[in-house]
Structure 1
């Protein structure tokens, strides 16, 4: 088939649609993180996405549907951060890589953590369908940690609590970014340098896990 035929046109259309949906999801995450589900409006989301409200409603059924899609997108983002980390190099290499990636993402996209945390704090009604798969992933990660313990690579720890603690350390810089900026003497829009934060958190975790 010649280049530029019907199949190529459909492919281009699908690509543009996916790019626009990614743009809409990012705008929605920012709006929901700032104003919550009740306070957000589809007009505000459309404005952030740079499209008309009419065009937005062509791609989404409702604000509530977009909110749930945004939460699902966040879960997928965090899952990718974890699973893209090499798993066959031992705990030190794994944790150095994962902590670095997680903190960089927290600083670059604080709205992601804020939206997710806001949903949890209101009882997580939109997340309950996702809890079983999230728990399954947590238990799989716990098995990996148990393997490190059994091999004598780290000291005995509760493998689930370890995940909670690493999560808390890496999420702090997203959830408390305004406070972090103030305490570090940074401007209101300044982004903290991730490297010393990563080094400090990584060393804290690794020292605490040494056999």
Structure 2
């Protein structure tokens, strides 16, 4: 890769990250390309060299998030040990939510308004969920975990692991953690892991 190609990729990533931040805070209608450009540290003219519209950028951001979440799904973890696989997935998901809170907030905002822009992205999300269902069903059939609803199990994992991004202000107030200070990652991961391993009839490994 040439230095020019590398620079182009860096700018595209900066634009996407800025767009996610702005869309998470202001939605599609409330976000301007000027705000995205400023957040990305480039001029509006530079921004429009890379994109044709904020609507196109919104779609790109949604697609990026769906792909990124699929990449950290537990179906991609090596091995077939439910306890370690679920534990690792929960830890990755919580770390990702705390490191990239605007990703969760942006996606949650889109879904909360009825998901009008999700049309072309549902296929990839459904495929990932169906693959995960198959893994969980395999564990159940093999007697490795207690019987449960694979789809609702995934929903519940998402709800818990994304809570600290989507409801960060509430978590900070109730956990008495001031703005700028890190939430207790080990405490959060341990509680969530214990919760879901217990539902599976598994004992958390020390």
Q: Same fold by TM (over 0.5)?
A: yes
Matched, 1:66 2:60: no
Larger radius of gyration: 1
Matched, 1:157 2:148: yes
Quote how far apart the aligned CAs of 1:189 are. 2.8
Gaps of 5+ in 1: 1-7
| Aligned mates of 1:115, 1:77 — CA distance in 2 | 14
Secondary structure in 2 matching 1:117:
helix
1:112-149 per-position Cα deviation (integer Å, ceiling 9, x unaligned): 01100111111111111111221122111101001101
Matches within 5 A, 1:1-20: 11-20=2-11
| Aligned mates of 2:50, 2:127 — CA distance in 1 | 32
1:161-194 per-position Cα deviation (integer Å, ceiling 9, x unaligned): 1111111111111110000000011112323021
Quote how far apart the aligned CAs of 1:15 are. 1.4
Quote how far apart the aligned CAs of 1:12 are. 2.0
Residue number in structure 1 paired with 2:35 = 44
Question: Is the contact between residue 154 and residue 210 of structure 1 (CA under 8 Å) also seen in structure 2?
Answer: yes
Secondary structure in 2 matching 1:37:
coil
TM-score by length of 2: 0.94
> Structure 1 residues 168, 31: closer, same or farther in 2, change over 3 A?
same
Matched, 1:189 2:177: no
| Aligned mates of 2:29, 2:182 — CA distance in 1 | 29
| Aligned mates of 1:201, 1:71 — CA distance in 2 | 26
Question: Which of 165, 168, 172 matches 2:159?
Answer: 168
Question: Is the contact between residue 37 and residue 43 of structure 2 (CA under 8 Å) also seen in structure 1?
Answer: yes
Secondary structure in 1 matching 2:28:
helix
Matches within 5 A, 1:190-209: 190-209=181-200
Question: Which of 104, 117, 128 matches 1:126?
Answer: 117
Residue number in structure 1 paired with 2:84 = 93
Secondary structure in 2 matching 1:19:
helix
Moved more, 166-175 or 78-87: 78-87
Secondary structure in 1 matching 2:120:
coil
Gaps of 5+ in 2: none
Residue number in structure 2 paired with 1:137 = 128
Q: How many residues are aligned here?
A: 202
| Aligned mates of 1:66, 1:14 — CA distance in 2 | 20
RMSD between aligned residues = 1.4
